[in-house]
Amino acid sequence: MQVAPYIIGSRSNHHNTDRRCGAIDAFAETNRKKTNDGPAARAQADGQPRASKVRKAKLSKWLVFTAFVGPAVLCFLLIQLIPFAVGIYYSFTSWNGVSSAVDWVGLDNFKRILTNDSKFADSFLFTAKFTVVAVLASNVIGLGLALMINGALKSKNALRTVFFMPNVIGGLLLGFIWQFIFVKGFAAVGSATHIPFFELPWLGDANTAFWAIVIVFAWQQSGYLMIIYVAALQGVDNSLLEASRIDGASRWTTMRKIVLPLIAPAFTICLFLSMSHAFKIYDLNYSLTGGGPFNSTLSVAMNIYSEAFTNNHYGIGSAKALIFFVVVALVTLAQVLVSKRREVET
């Protein structure tokens, strides 16, 4: 779903002068134009813009708008905004998740989280470290795969499917498959060949468990990011590449000076997507390590969950979720702003 606007955007953008807004904005723009061309334009074409006709047109425009946007707004309201608001309310209470008594405690939850909860800080540190490494790994691999597939390979379509496949499997299932590979598969290979890499207690040690999760995350995400990068690469104007070749630019220079700047909007999207996925990681480490060994791979999302539902501190859990939301929002916003500035105008 998220890929679609980008593809449309990049294609139609080519001969557009305005590239600053990036793909999604361009898509929105086309949409806006379409609706603007509608009833109002027709009324004018009729020659006699009578008042009732204008009012009718306005009404029908409003109806069309409601009919299309209404269901989405309603769902968004019901399953996102209202729970979010309720969550903010609970973060100022000491509710345990079951009782009918909900006591207002003001900022106590936040005070406790920030001053007396080293585990939350630890899980934040792990998540931050993981996000940096995992985003780098999955984007480098994703772009690499995209470049490879974009070449005139014969098996291009098959490869594209194969690389994308891990993304179709749910994270939880993927985690359990890889848990088997790490615990049983690697151990079997290790005992047969005595290669040290396979003999490591992969999920039993804090360091290797971290890398195990990074590996599975990259394996799952890079295929998805690849699709976005492929779309961007196909949007690069061939005449520019040809011109650079005629000018005697090396492959590396072409890549660095022409291709990469032109696909900068894809970087914005891919970094944003992989970053928010990595930040919110839950299913992979739940199934791979369960947060262990000794809480070393406990992500913030897991910490929030166990605070609210295992420790029965629903209020504190909500407060943690709120803090987490603010941090993720700030970081991803900063990322989008910075990488947007790097997108070029053609």
State the residues that interact with other proteins by CB under 8 A: 60, 63-64, 66-68, 70-71, 74-75, 78, 96-100, 116-117, 182-183, 187, 201-206, 290, 292-295, 306-307, 309-313
Q: Closest distance between other proteins and the C-beta of residue 318, in Å? A: 14
Instruction: Spell out the long-range contacts of 172-180 with Cβ–Cβ below 8 A and sequence spacing 24 or more.
Output: 172/283, 172/286, 172/287, 173/287, 174/216, 174/220, 174/284, 174/287, 175/216, 175/283, 175/284, 175/285, 175/286, 175/287, 175/288, 176/287, 178/212, 178/215, 178/216, 178/288, 179/203, 179/287, 179/288
Q: How far is the CB of 37 from other proteins (least distance, A)?
A: 13
Assign residue 343 a region (left: φ > 0; alpha: ψ between -120 and 50; beta: otherwise).
beta
Nearer to other proteins, 59 or 153 (CB): 59
**Distance in Å, CB of 8 to other proteins, minimum:** 21
The pair of structure tokens assigned to 19 is 């590239």
Which residue's CB is nearer to other proteins, number 44 or number 253? Answer: 44
Token reading at 98: 């079951």
Q: Which is nearer to other proteins, 129 or 184 (CB)?
A: 184
Instruction: Tell me the closest approach of the beta carbon of residue 304 to other proteins, in angstroms.
Output: 13
Residues sharing a CB contact under 8 Å with residue 306, sequence separation 6 or more, in sequence order = none
We find the least distance from the C-beta atom of residue 63 to other proteins, in angstroms, to be 6
HSE-up of residue 225 (Cα within 13 Å, Cβ side): 32
Cβ closer to other proteins: 60 or 161? Answer: 60
CB of 336 to other proteins, least distance (A): 31
Cβ-contact 335, 272 below 8 angstroms? yes
SS3 category, 155:
coil
Question: How far is the C-alpha of 294 from the C-alpha of 280, rounded, in Å?
Answer: 20
Distance in Å, CB of 220 to other proteins, minimum: 21
Under 8 Å between Cβ of 92 and 104 = yes
Which residue's CB is nearer to other proteins, number 252 or number 294? Answer: 294
Complex with other proteins: residue 144 or 170, whichever CB lies closer:
170
CA distance 2 to 217: 19
- Cβ 307 vs Cβ 299: under 8 Å: no
Least CB distance from residue 112 to other proteins, whole Å? Answer: 9
Closest to other proteins by CB, 79 vs 169, is 79
Q: How far is CA 123 from CA 61, 211, 304, 325, in A?
A: 50, 16, 10, 15
First CA to last CA across the chain, in angstroms?
A: 27
CB of 41 to other proteins, least distance (A): 13
User: 189 vs 336, which CB is nearer to other proteins?
Assistant: 189
Distance CA(132)–CA(212), nearest Å, equals 15
- C-beta closer to other proteins: residue 164 or 305: 305
